[in-house]
Structure 1
Protein backbone atom coordinates (compact mmCIF):
# COMPACT_ATOMS: atom_id res chain seq x y z
CA UNK A 1 0.00 0.00 0.00
CA UNK A 2 1.64 3.20 -1.23
CA UNK A 3 1.17 6.33 0.83
CA UNK A 4 0.42 9.80 -0.43
CA UNK A 5 -0.31 13.12 1.24
CA UNK A 6 -3.39 13.48 -0.98
CA UNK A 7 -6.18 11.17 -2.17
CA UNK A 8 -8.88 11.57 -4.81
CA UNK A 9 -12.43 10.62 -3.82
CA UNK A 10 -14.88 9.85 -6.63
CA UNK A 11 -18.33 9.95 -5.08
CA UNK A 12 -21.43 8.14 -6.44
CA UNK A 13 -20.44 8.14 -10.11
CA UNK A 14 -21.40 4.44 -10.35
CA UNK A 15 -25.10 5.21 -10.31
CA UNK A 16 -28.36 3.89 -11.74
CA UNK A 17 -29.98 7.36 -11.87
CA UNK A 18 -33.35 5.75 -11.14
CA UNK A 19 -34.80 8.50 -8.97
CA UNK A 20 -36.62 11.79 -9.36
CA UNK A 21 -34.51 14.07 -11.58
CA UNK A 22 -32.18 11.13 -12.32
CA UNK A 23 -32.25 11.88 -16.04
CA UNK A 24 -30.98 15.42 -15.41
CA UNK A 25 -28.23 14.22 -13.06
CA UNK A 26 -27.22 11.48 -15.53
CA UNK A 27 -26.68 14.14 -18.22
CA UNK A 28 -24.63 16.28 -15.85
CA UNK A 29 -22.63 13.28 -14.63
CA UNK A 30 -21.79 12.44 -18.23
CA UNK A 31 -20.52 16.01 -18.74
CA UNK A 32 -18.12 15.79 -15.77
CA UNK A 33 -17.08 12.16 -16.34
CA UNK A 34 -14.43 13.12 -18.91
CA UNK A 35 -12.93 15.73 -16.56
CA UNK A 36 -12.93 13.28 -13.65
CA UNK A 37 -11.22 10.70 -15.87
CA UNK A 38 -8.51 13.25 -16.79
CA UNK A 39 -8.12 14.17 -13.11
CA UNK A 40 -7.87 10.48 -12.25
CA UNK A 41 -5.13 9.96 -14.88
CA UNK A 42 -3.18 12.89 -13.44
CA UNK A 43 -3.53 11.46 -9.95
CA UNK A 44 -2.29 8.09 -11.21
CA UNK A 45 0.78 9.81 -12.72
CA UNK A 46 1.49 11.41 -9.34
CA UNK A 47 0.84 8.21 -7.33
CA UNK A 48 -2.20 9.74 -5.63
CA UNK A 49 -4.60 7.00 -4.51
CA UNK A 50 -8.06 6.96 -6.07
CA UNK A 51 -10.95 5.96 -3.86
CA UNK A 52 -14.41 5.36 -5.27
CA UNK A 53 -17.09 5.66 -2.63
CA UNK A 54 -20.56 4.70 -3.66
CA UNK A 55 -24.11 4.05 -2.55
CA UNK A 56 -24.70 0.37 -1.87
CA UNK A 57 -28.14 0.05 -3.54
CA UNK A 58 -29.25 -2.34 -0.78
CA UNK A 59 -26.74 -4.91 -2.02
CA UNK A 60 -24.70 -4.44 1.18
CA UNK A 61 -21.66 -6.00 -0.41
CA UNK A 62 -18.61 -3.96 -1.29
CA UNK A 63 -18.35 -5.90 -4.51
CA UNK A 64 -17.67 -3.49 -7.34
CA UNK A 65 -18.90 -5.70 -10.17
CA UNK A 66 -22.22 -6.38 -8.42
CA UNK A 67 -22.79 -2.66 -7.94
CA UNK A 68 -21.87 -1.92 -11.57
CA UNK A 69 -24.17 -4.68 -12.88
CA UNK A 70 -27.01 -3.40 -10.70
CA UNK A 71 -26.52 0.18 -11.91
CA UNK A 72 -26.13 -0.52 -15.64
CA UNK A 73 -29.01 0.80 -17.71
CA UNK A 74 -29.46 3.15 -20.68
CA UNK A 75 -29.08 6.24 -18.45
CA UNK A 76 -25.92 5.08 -16.70
CA UNK A 77 -23.97 2.97 -19.17
CA UNK A 78 -22.05 5.81 -20.82
CA UNK A 79 -21.10 7.36 -17.46
CA UNK A 80 -19.96 4.03 -16.02
CA UNK A 81 -18.05 3.26 -19.23
CA UNK A 82 -16.03 6.47 -18.86
CA UNK A 83 -15.41 6.35 -15.12
CA UNK A 84 -15.23 2.63 -14.22
CA UNK A 85 -12.64 1.84 -11.51
CA UNK A 86 -9.53 -0.18 -12.27
CA UNK A 87 -7.92 -2.90 -10.17
CA UNK A 88 -5.55 -0.29 -8.68
CA UNK A 89 -8.42 1.84 -7.33
CA UNK A 90 -10.08 1.43 -3.95
CA UNK A 91 -13.84 0.90 -3.77
CA UNK A 92 -16.02 1.43 -0.70
CA UNK A 93 -19.77 1.46 -0.23
CA UNK A 94 -21.61 3.97 1.94
CA UNK A 95 -25.01 3.70 3.62
CA UNK A 96 -25.83 7.43 3.68
CA UNK A 97 -24.82 10.73 2.09
CA UNK A 98 -21.36 11.20 3.60
CA UNK A 99 -18.45 9.06 2.44
CA UNK A 100 -17.31 8.93 6.09
CA UNK A 101 -20.56 7.85 7.74
CA UNK A 102 -20.58 4.12 8.49
CA UNK A 103 -17.62 3.37 6.19
CA UNK A 104 -13.97 2.35 6.46
CA UNK A 105 -12.86 5.55 4.69
CA UNK A 106 -11.16 7.19 7.66
CA UNK A 107 -9.25 3.97 8.43
CA UNK A 108 -8.16 3.63 4.80
CA UNK A 109 -7.02 7.28 4.67
CA UNK A 110 -5.06 6.77 7.90
CA UNK A 111 -3.34 3.66 6.53
CA UNK A 112 -2.49 5.51 3.32
CA UNK A 113 -1.20 8.43 5.44
CA UNK A 114 -3.46 10.84 3.55
CA UNK A 115 -3.60 14.39 4.87
CA UNK A 116 -5.61 16.15 2.08
CA UNK A 117 -8.59 15.20 -0.05
CA UNK A 118 -9.70 16.01 -3.58
CA UNK A 119 -13.47 15.59 -3.87
CA UNK A 120 -15.31 14.85 -7.11
CA UNK A 121 -18.60 13.33 -8.16
CA UNK A 122 -22.33 13.71 -7.63
CA UNK A 123 -24.46 15.20 -6.25
CA UNK A 124 -22.43 18.26 -5.32
CA UNK A 125 -25.11 19.69 -3.06
CA UNK A 126 -25.74 16.42 -1.21
CA UNK A 127 -23.18 13.61 -1.04
CA UNK A 128 -20.14 15.70 -2.02
CA UNK A 129 -21.13 18.50 0.38
CA UNK A 130 -21.85 16.10 3.26
CA UNK A 131 -18.51 14.36 2.63
CA UNK A 132 -16.74 17.73 2.55
CA UNK A 133 -18.33 18.66 5.86
CA UNK A 134 -17.27 15.40 7.52
CA UNK A 135 -13.76 15.72 6.06
CA UNK A 136 -13.53 19.27 7.39
CA UNK A 137 -14.67 18.07 10.84
CA UNK A 138 -11.80 15.54 10.70
CA UNK A 139 -9.40 18.36 9.76
CA UNK A 140 -8.66 17.23 6.20
CA UNK A 141 -7.80 20.18 3.93
CA UNK A 142 -9.97 20.00 0.82
CA UNK A 143 -9.30 20.54 -2.88
CA UNK A 144 -12.44 20.93 -4.98
CA UNK A 145 -12.19 20.87 -8.78
CA UNK A 146 -15.37 22.77 -9.64
CA UNK A 147 -15.60 21.14 -13.08
CA UNK A 148 -15.61 17.65 -11.53
CA UNK A 149 -18.76 18.09 -9.40
CA UNK A 150 -22.39 18.21 -10.55
CA UNK A 151 -25.83 18.55 -8.99
CA UNK A 152 -29.32 18.38 -10.47
CA UNK A 153 -29.62 22.16 -10.18
CA UNK A 154 -26.67 24.36 -11.23
CA UNK A 155 -27.54 27.01 -8.64
CA UNK A 156 -27.48 24.37 -5.88
CA UNK A 157 -24.12 23.17 -7.18
CA UNK A 158 -22.66 26.70 -7.08
CA UNK A 159 -24.04 27.16 -3.56
CA UNK A 160 -22.43 23.87 -2.41
CA UNK A 161 -19.08 24.92 -3.87
CA UNK A 162 -19.39 28.31 -2.20
CA UNK A 163 -20.15 26.60 1.14
CA UNK A 164 -17.13 24.32 0.76
CA UNK A 165 -14.96 27.36 0.05
CA UNK A 166 -16.32 29.77 2.66
CA UNK A 167 -17.24 27.42 5.50
CA UNK A 168 -14.92 24.44 5.03
CA UNK A 169 -11.99 26.49 3.69
CA UNK A 170 -11.69 24.31 0.58
CA UNK A 171 -9.37 25.36 -2.21
CA UNK A 172 -11.56 25.63 -5.31
CA UNK A 173 -9.93 25.23 -8.74
CA UNK A 174 -10.84 24.32 -12.30
CA UNK A 175 -8.96 21.20 -13.31
CA UNK A 176 -7.23 21.31 -16.66
CA UNK A 177 -5.60 18.33 -18.37
CA UNK A 178 -1.96 17.76 -17.35
CA UNK A 179 -2.23 20.14 -14.39
CA UNK A 180 -0.07 18.81 -11.58
CA UNK A 181 -1.94 18.15 -8.34
CA UNK A 182 1.17 18.37 -6.13
CA UNK A 183 1.50 22.19 -6.19
CA UNK A 184 -2.22 22.53 -5.49
CA UNK A 185 -2.09 20.20 -2.51
CA UNK A 186 1.05 21.77 -1.01
CA UNK A 187 -0.48 25.21 -0.56
Structure 2
Protein backbone atom coordinates (compact mmCIF):
# COMPACT_ATOMS: atom_id res chain seq x y z
CA UNK A 1 0.00 0.00 0.00
CA UNK A 2 1.40 3.38 -0.98
CA UNK A 3 2.23 5.74 1.85
CA UNK A 4 0.35 8.98 2.33
CA UNK A 5 3.48 10.97 1.51
CA UNK A 6 3.94 9.15 -1.79
CA UNK A 7 0.35 9.89 -2.77
CA UNK A 8 0.77 13.63 -2.33
CA UNK A 9 1.47 15.28 -5.65
CA UNK A 10 4.47 17.53 -5.85
CA UNK A 11 3.79 21.11 -6.97
CA UNK A 12 4.49 21.81 -10.61
CA UNK A 13 7.48 24.08 -11.01
CA UNK A 14 8.18 26.31 -13.96
CA UNK A 15 11.52 26.85 -15.62
CA UNK A 16 10.68 30.53 -15.88
CA UNK A 17 10.41 32.52 -12.68
CA UNK A 18 7.45 34.84 -12.32
CA UNK A 19 8.72 38.35 -12.01
CA UNK A 20 6.81 41.45 -11.09
CA UNK A 21 6.20 43.66 -14.09
CA UNK A 22 6.99 47.34 -13.72
CA UNK A 23 4.33 49.75 -14.88
CA UNK A 24 5.53 51.88 -17.79
CA UNK A 25 5.19 55.63 -17.37
CA UNK A 26 3.09 56.77 -20.34
CA UNK A 27 1.22 60.11 -20.25
CA UNK A 28 -0.50 59.05 -23.48
CA UNK A 29 -1.85 55.54 -24.00
CA UNK A 30 -3.15 53.87 -27.15
CA UNK A 31 -6.22 51.83 -26.21
CA UNK A 32 -7.21 49.20 -28.78
CA UNK A 33 -10.80 48.08 -28.27
CA UNK A 34 -11.97 44.70 -29.63
CA UNK A 35 -9.50 44.66 -32.50
CA UNK A 36 -8.91 40.91 -32.07
CA UNK A 37 -12.37 40.01 -33.18
CA UNK A 38 -13.97 37.01 -34.93
CA UNK A 39 -16.79 39.27 -36.18
CA UNK A 40 -19.15 36.37 -35.73
CA UNK A 41 -22.64 37.88 -35.73
CA UNK A 42 -25.46 38.07 -38.28
CA UNK A 43 -24.62 41.53 -39.64
CA UNK A 44 -20.83 41.14 -39.62
CA UNK A 45 -20.61 41.49 -43.40
CA UNK A 46 -21.81 45.07 -43.03
CA UNK A 47 -18.82 46.08 -40.91
CA UNK A 48 -16.12 43.86 -42.39
CA UNK A 49 -14.87 46.12 -45.25
CA UNK A 50 -14.62 49.23 -43.07
CA UNK A 51 -13.14 47.18 -40.21
CA UNK A 52 -10.29 46.05 -42.45
CA UNK A 53 -9.59 49.63 -43.52
CA UNK A 54 -9.64 50.73 -39.90
CA UNK A 55 -7.25 47.89 -38.97
CA UNK A 56 -4.71 49.10 -41.51
CA UNK A 57 -4.96 52.65 -40.16
CA UNK A 58 -4.65 51.39 -36.57
CA UNK A 59 -1.51 49.40 -37.44
CA UNK A 60 0.13 52.52 -38.92
CA UNK A 61 -0.87 54.64 -35.93
CA UNK A 62 0.39 52.05 -33.47
CA UNK A 63 3.73 51.74 -35.23
CA UNK A 64 4.15 55.49 -35.24
CA UNK A 65 3.38 55.95 -31.56
CA UNK A 66 5.24 52.92 -30.23
CA UNK A 67 8.38 54.30 -31.88
CA UNK A 68 7.89 57.30 -29.61
CA UNK A 69 7.63 55.06 -26.57
CA UNK A 70 3.86 55.22 -26.06
CA UNK A 71 2.29 52.29 -24.23
CA UNK A 72 -0.52 50.25 -25.77
CA UNK A 73 -3.34 48.45 -23.99
CA UNK A 74 -5.60 45.93 -25.71
CA UNK A 75 -9.07 45.86 -24.16
CA UNK A 76 -10.72 42.87 -25.75
CA UNK A 77 -14.09 41.23 -25.38
CA UNK A 78 -13.97 37.66 -24.13
CA UNK A 79 -16.89 36.77 -26.46
CA UNK A 80 -18.45 34.71 -23.71
CA UNK A 81 -15.51 32.30 -23.49
CA UNK A 82 -15.14 32.46 -19.73
CA UNK A 83 -12.53 29.69 -19.57
CA UNK A 84 -10.29 31.27 -22.20
CA UNK A 85 -7.42 33.69 -21.96
CA UNK A 86 -6.53 36.40 -24.44
CA UNK A 87 -3.95 34.18 -26.13
CA UNK A 88 -6.65 31.58 -26.82
CA UNK A 89 -8.86 34.20 -28.47
CA UNK A 90 -5.94 35.58 -30.48
CA UNK A 91 -4.93 32.11 -31.69
CA UNK A 92 -8.46 31.29 -32.83
CA UNK A 93 -8.89 34.62 -34.63
CA UNK A 94 -5.54 34.27 -36.40
CA UNK A 95 -6.75 30.96 -37.87
CA UNK A 96 -9.80 32.54 -39.49
CA UNK A 97 -9.83 32.86 -43.26
CA UNK A 98 -10.08 36.16 -45.09
CA UNK A 99 -10.17 39.64 -43.53
CA UNK A 100 -11.02 38.35 -40.05
CA UNK A 101 -7.77 36.42 -39.80
CA UNK A 102 -5.82 39.16 -41.55
CA UNK A 103 -6.98 41.70 -38.97
CA UNK A 104 -5.88 39.50 -36.08
CA UNK A 105 -2.46 38.92 -37.61
CA UNK A 106 -2.01 42.60 -38.46
CA UNK A 107 -2.96 43.84 -35.00
CA UNK A 108 -1.51 41.10 -32.79
CA UNK A 109 -0.01 42.67 -29.66
CA UNK A 110 3.73 42.93 -29.23
CA UNK A 111 5.67 41.68 -26.20
CA UNK A 112 5.52 45.06 -24.43
CA UNK A 113 1.77 45.61 -24.97
CA UNK A 114 -0.66 45.13 -22.10
CA UNK A 115 -3.84 43.10 -22.48
CA UNK A 116 -7.09 42.98 -20.51
CA UNK A 117 -10.32 41.10 -21.17
CA UNK A 118 -13.62 42.91 -20.71
CA UNK A 119 -17.02 41.32 -20.07
CA UNK A 120 -19.14 44.21 -21.34
CA UNK A 121 -19.03 47.03 -23.86
CA UNK A 122 -16.91 49.63 -22.06
CA UNK A 123 -13.25 48.79 -21.45
CA UNK A 124 -13.64 50.33 -17.98
CA UNK A 125 -16.53 48.13 -16.85
CA UNK A 126 -15.40 45.39 -14.41
CA UNK A 127 -11.76 45.52 -15.61
CA UNK A 128 -8.45 46.76 -14.12
CA UNK A 129 -8.09 49.42 -16.82
CA UNK A 130 -8.46 52.45 -14.57
CA UNK A 131 -5.96 50.97 -12.11
CA UNK A 132 -3.45 50.41 -14.93
CA UNK A 133 -3.88 53.94 -16.28
CA UNK A 134 -3.43 55.44 -12.81
CA UNK A 135 -0.22 53.48 -12.28
CA UNK A 136 0.99 54.57 -15.71
CA UNK A 137 0.18 58.21 -14.89
CA UNK A 138 -1.83 58.46 -18.10
CA UNK A 139 -3.59 61.71 -18.93
CA UNK A 140 -4.63 61.21 -22.56
CA UNK A 141 -6.16 58.18 -24.27
CA UNK A 142 -6.19 57.46 -27.98
CA UNK A 143 -9.09 55.05 -28.43
CA UNK A 144 -9.38 52.96 -31.60
CA UNK A 145 -11.19 49.82 -32.68
CA UNK A 146 -14.65 48.32 -33.02
CA UNK A 147 -17.33 49.37 -33.12
CA UNK A 148 -17.45 53.15 -33.22
CA UNK A 149 -21.09 53.30 -32.11
CA UNK A 150 -20.84 50.72 -29.35
CA UNK A 151 -17.71 49.63 -27.48
CA UNK A 152 -15.49 52.48 -28.68
CA UNK A 153 -18.13 55.09 -27.88
CA UNK A 154 -18.91 53.72 -24.42
CA UNK A 155 -15.23 53.40 -23.57
CA UNK A 156 -14.60 56.98 -24.71
CA UNK A 157 -17.53 58.41 -22.72
CA UNK A 158 -16.38 56.58 -19.60
CA UNK A 159 -12.86 57.91 -20.15
CA UNK A 160 -14.14 61.48 -20.41
CA UNK A 161 -16.23 61.10 -17.25
CA UNK A 162 -13.06 59.94 -15.48
CA UNK A 163 -11.23 63.07 -16.58
CA UNK A 164 -9.02 61.83 -19.41
CA UNK A 165 -8.37 63.76 -22.60
CA UNK A 166 -9.64 61.55 -25.40
CA UNK A 167 -8.86 61.28 -29.10
CA UNK A 168 -10.91 58.85 -31.20
CA UNK A 169 -9.32 58.94 -34.68
CA UNK A 170 -12.19 58.59 -37.12
CA UNK A 171 -10.15 56.58 -39.62
CA UNK A 172 -9.22 54.07 -36.91
CA UNK A 173 -12.78 53.00 -36.11
CA UNK A 174 -15.56 51.22 -37.97
CA UNK A 175 -19.30 50.58 -37.66
CA UNK A 176 -21.97 48.68 -39.54
CA UNK A 177 -22.87 51.78 -41.55
CA UNK A 178 -21.40 55.19 -42.31
CA UNK A 179 -24.42 56.83 -40.66
CA UNK A 180 -23.98 54.93 -37.41
CA UNK A 181 -20.29 55.77 -37.29
CA UNK A 182 -20.85 59.45 -38.10
CA UNK A 183 -23.58 59.79 -35.48
CA UNK A 184 -21.36 58.24 -32.81
CA UNK A 185 -18.38 60.44 -33.65
CA UNK A 186 -20.55 63.57 -33.73
CA UNK A 187 -21.85 62.69 -30.27
CA UNK A 188 -18.34 62.14 -28.95
CA UNK A 189 -17.09 65.40 -30.40
CA UNK A 190 -20.08 67.64 -29.72
CA UNK A 191 -21.24 66.40 -26.33
CA UNK A 192 -18.20 64.76 -24.75
CA UNK A 193 -15.53 67.03 -26.27
CA UNK A 194 -13.42 64.22 -27.70
CA UNK A 195 -11.17 64.88 -30.65
CA UNK A 196 -12.17 62.80 -33.67
CA UNK A 197 -9.68 64.10 -36.21
CA UNK A 198 -8.22 61.48 -38.52
CA UNK A 199 -4.88 59.90 -37.70
CA UNK A 200 -3.72 59.91 -41.30
CA UNK A 201 -4.15 62.32 -44.18
CA UNK A 202 -6.00 61.01 -47.19
CA UNK A 203 -3.99 60.90 -50.38
CA UNK A 204 -5.30 63.27 -53.01
SS state of the match for residue 115, structure 2?
Answer: strand
Relative to 1, partners in 2 of residues 1:134 and 1:61: Cα closer, same or farther, differing over 3 Å? Answer: farther
Shift of 1:64: 2.6
What is the rounded CA distance, in whole Å, between the counterparts of 1:45 and 1:70 in structure 2? 29
What is the rounded CA distance, in whole Å, between the counterparts of 1:127 and 1:106 in structure 2? 16
1:108 aligns to 2:108 (yes or no): no
Identify the match of residue 121 of structure 1 among 145, 163, 167.
Answer: 145
Long gaps (5+) in structure 1: 178-187
Shift of 1:89: 0.7
Q: Map residues 74-89 of structure 1 onto 2, 5 A cutoff.
A: 74-75=97-98, 76-89=100-113
Q: CA RMSD in A?
A: 1.5
SS state of the match for residue 150, structure 2?
Answer: helix
Matching residue of 1:33: 55
Long gaps (5+) in structure 2: 1-22
Structure 1 segments (4+ residues) deviating >4 Å: none
TM-score (norm 2): 0.82
Structure scoring higher RCO (CA < 8 A, sep ≥ 6) equals 1
Matched pairs, number: 177
What is the rounded CA distance, in whole Å, between the counterparts of 1:60 and 1:81 in structure 2? 23
- Which one has a larger percent helix, Structure 1 or Structure 2? 1
Q: Map residues 29-108 of structure 1 onto 2, 5 A cutoff.
A: 29-60=51-82, 63-71=85-93, 72-75=95-98, 76-108=100-132
What is the rounded CA distance, in whole Å, between the counterparts of 2:183 and 2:157 in structure 1? 14
1:158 aligns to 2:178 (yes or no): no
Larger Rg: 2
- Does the CA-based 8 Å contact 2:170-2:196 persist in structure 1? yes
TM-score (norm 1): 0.89
